[in-house]
Structure 1
Amino acid sequence: MSWDPGGLNKNTRSKFYVILRFLRIEQTFFSLPMAYLGAFVAIKGISPISTLILIFLALFFLRTAGMTNDNLADVEIDAKNPRTKNRPLVTGAIKISEAKAMITTSLILFFITSYFVNIWAFILSPIVAIIVMSYPYMKRYTAFANYHLASIQGLAVFSGAVAVLGLYYNSLVQILLKVPWFFVIGTILWAAGFDLYNHIPDAEFDKEMGLHSFAVVLGRWALTFAGLNQLFSVVLDLLGDLYYGLGPIAIFATILHGLIMAYAYYLASQKNDFGRAFYYNIYSSIVLGLGVDIDVVLGIPF
């Protein structure tokens, strides 16, 4: 399987493009719509523009640190995997020292941005950073690394909610009660499913390297397991639409989100096209996030 979201082609020359591929910048679109979903649903209204900008910056800086750390932790493994041998850190297009500098700078900027969001975002930021930065080491020990990665996507919804709720509530308990947990958990299950699209093609390699994932544990049943996770995620999202009093646009977006995931599953299961299946999940997250946000803004009753 030659597909790799973080790989370079042989004709790549631009350092800027190398950095974009290194960070897999398009995958920010996994998280950003979900972060804004958390922000809009939490207060059932439009979040301040300044807060939305800070959410984007915090997300960008933390994803930069996390993705760079992921590449750095796996550089020796990636060098041995035919699918990932063209990644920038493996080829030397980005130096180890540059990667370490990116991690340090991005984490500092993440903490600074969190401070300007609100006090609770700042207090919780080290916990969020630890969860993100520890992910690449989990697959050395447990198959639940798939859910660790998925929880990072769920944290986008959680963090978006905290970013706006902290403007209105002083109590952390009040904030936690207002977080749209149906969407947080639904996002975790959705992400666990699409993360397996990354791991299933590498199952034999991971087994040889002593790495853990549900693709290794479940073998030929791993794809079914991925599909079930995503099916339950749609159910939770629909329950969230109803529980939080969202309207027809949100429900339509949720159903379309599910249909796109179903098509991605078809691509993986029938066409063995895990690359396209993976990227269709970007489209599905944009559909869900924008649909829910538009629904909240327009306030059309169901």
Structure 2
Amino acid sequence: MPSESTLKKILNFTKVEHTAFSLPLIFTGAWMGAGDRFPSVRVMLLIVVAAVGARVFGMSMNRVLDRHIDLLNPRTAGRELPSGKMSLALAIAVTLSGVLVYLLACAALNDWCLILSPIPLVPLLGYSLLKRFTPLCHFGIGLCLALAPLGAFVAAAGHPRFPVTVLLFSGFVFFWLSGADIIYAMMDIESDRRNHIHSLPARLGAGGAQRVAGAVHLLCWMILVGVVWLMGGGGPLAWTALFITAVFLLMMYIPAVPVPKRFFPISTLAGIAGALVPMVA
């Protein structure tokens, strides 16, 4: 058993508690896969385990690959690896544990989950590398989370025959998180430019990056409207959830709101509100 201090380091390193903020999106995928209801408790628990395992793998891999870059940025230099609080060997062990938990959960869910399980691992493994090559790196993390409701759909439905509504909802997740990550990267403009790290804020400046993020978020909200329309037009609850989603998305562009708060909790609340839309449509 790891010591209390080691366990605390691992929890800080993986930020596993942040999985809770993606669970509403994952649960919506499961809801749609089970035919507009929640699947069994067993399936839901396994979906959560798979999500936690994937989160631990993705976050840990990101921290391992970025440890030298993090050391150059005052905001991230205190993280476990660049500060020397955690050994690289322990970080790799945590990474491998995450992928093992994820694969075991997929195997326990159904054959299709196991067959398709390597697909999300590719963007989870590589999204942190994109910042070395392209300012479009923000869309890599969007892809990672966009696959989550699709995986939950397969877990609940037992097959990968996705209806258009599920694919559109995945598109909402993709553009929502990609836009939020552009906003988040505004905190590191000077550090990214100094260290030749690619990002849209570093390339376009804060104003240009916000305009791109705004267009991305407008698209994500329009996709969500399309989901409601395809599901029969929705009722008052669906349109209320759409309105709340729009309000939180707009709040991310209020200059008086500090950038860290625009990413969390405001962007998270926009995602949660958006996740409710198909469930109440």
> Do these two structures clear the TM 0.5 threshold for a shared fold by scoring above it?
yes
Structure 2 partner of 1:218: 204
Verify: 1:104 aligned to 2:96, yes or no: yes
* Corresponding residue to 1:85 among 77, 89, 94: 77
Percent identical pairs in the alignment equals 26
Q: Report Cα offsets for 1:122-169 as digits up to 9, x if no partner.
A: 111111111211111111111221111111111112111121121xx4
Structure 2 partner of 1:25: 16
The runs of 5 or more residues in structure 1 that have no matched partner are 1-12, 297-302
Question: What is the CA distance between 1:206 and its match in structure 2?
Answer: 1.5
Please give the residue correspondences for 1:115-264 in structure 2 after superposition, counting only pairs within 5 Å: 115-166=107-158, 169=159, 172=160, 175-177=161-163, 180-219=166-205, 220-245=207-232, 246-264=234-252
Structure 1 CA distance for aligned equivalents of residues 277 and 163 of structure 2:
24
Structure 1 CA distance for aligned equivalents of residues 268 and 20 of structure 2:
6
**1:107 match: secondary structure:** helix
Question: Which AA in structure 2 matches 1:33?
Answer: P
Question: Which AA in structure 2 matches 1:192?
Answer: S
**2:132 match: secondary structure:** coil
Q: How high is the TM-score relative to the length of structure 2?
A: 0.90
Contact 2:58–2:125 (CA<8 Å) still a contact in 1?
Answer: yes
Q: Report Cα offsets for 1:258-284 as digits up to 9, x if no partner.
A: 211211221xxx126111001011222
- Closer, same or farther in 2 for the Cα pair 1:14/1:277, shift >3 Å? farther
Verify: 1:45 aligned to 2:31, yes or no: no
Question: What is the CA distance between 1:208 and its match in structure 2?
Answer: 2.5
Verify: 1:275 aligned to 2:270, yes or no: no
Contact 2:23–2:48 (CA<8 Å) still a contact in 1?
Answer: yes
Contact 2:29–2:149 (CA<8 Å) still a contact in 1?
Answer: yes
Q: Give the alignment's Cα RMSD to 1 decimal.
A: 2.0
- Closer, same or farther in 2 for the Cα pair 1:20/1:291, shift >3 Å? farther
The runs of 5 or more residues in structure 2 that have no matched partner are none
- Closer, same or farther in 2 for the Cα pair 1:215/1:198, shift >3 Å? same
Question: Which AA in structure 2 matches 1:230?
Answer: H
**1:265 match: secondary structure:** coil
Question: Which AA in structure 1 matches 2:177?
Answer: A
Structure 2 CA distance for aligned equivalents of residues 29 and 285 of structure 1:
12
* Corresponding residue to 2:64 among 72, 78, 95: 72
Q: Report Cα offsets for 1:165-195 as digits up to 9, x if no partner.
A: 21xx4xx4xx134661111111111111110
Question: Which AA in structure 2 matches 1:47?
Answer: P
Q: Report Cα offsets for 1:83-114 as digits up to 9, x if no partner.
A: 11111222222221111001111111111111
Aligned residues: 274
**2:75 match: secondary structure:** coil
Please give the residue correspondences for 1:52-67 in structure 2 after superposition, counting only pairs within 5 Å: 52-67=44-59
Structure 1 CA distance for aligned equivalents of residues 251 and 5 of structure 2:
34
* Corresponding residue to 1:35 among 17, 26, 35: 26
Contact 2:183–2:209 (CA<8 Å) still a contact in 1?
Answer: no
Structure 2 CA distance for aligned equivalents of residues 180 and 229 of structure 1:
19
- Closer, same or farther in 2 for the Cα pair 1:288/1:29, shift >3 Å? farther
- Closer, same or farther in 2 for the Cα pair 1:287/1:233, shift >3 Å? same
Q: Report Cα offsets for 1:241-299 as digits up to 9, x if no partner.
A: 22123443233222212211211221xxx126111001011222223334544x27xxx
Structure 2 CA distance for aligned equivalents of residues 111 and 89 of structure 1:
26
Structure 2 CA distance for aligned equivalents of residues 140 and 23 of structure 1:
22
Contact 1:253–1:292 (CA<8 Å) still a contact in 2?
Answer: no
Structure 2 CA distance for aligned equivalents of residues 211 and 65 of structure 1:
23
- Name which of structure 1's ranges 60-69 and 14-23 shifts more when overlaid on structure 2: 14-23
**1:271 match: secondary structure:** coil
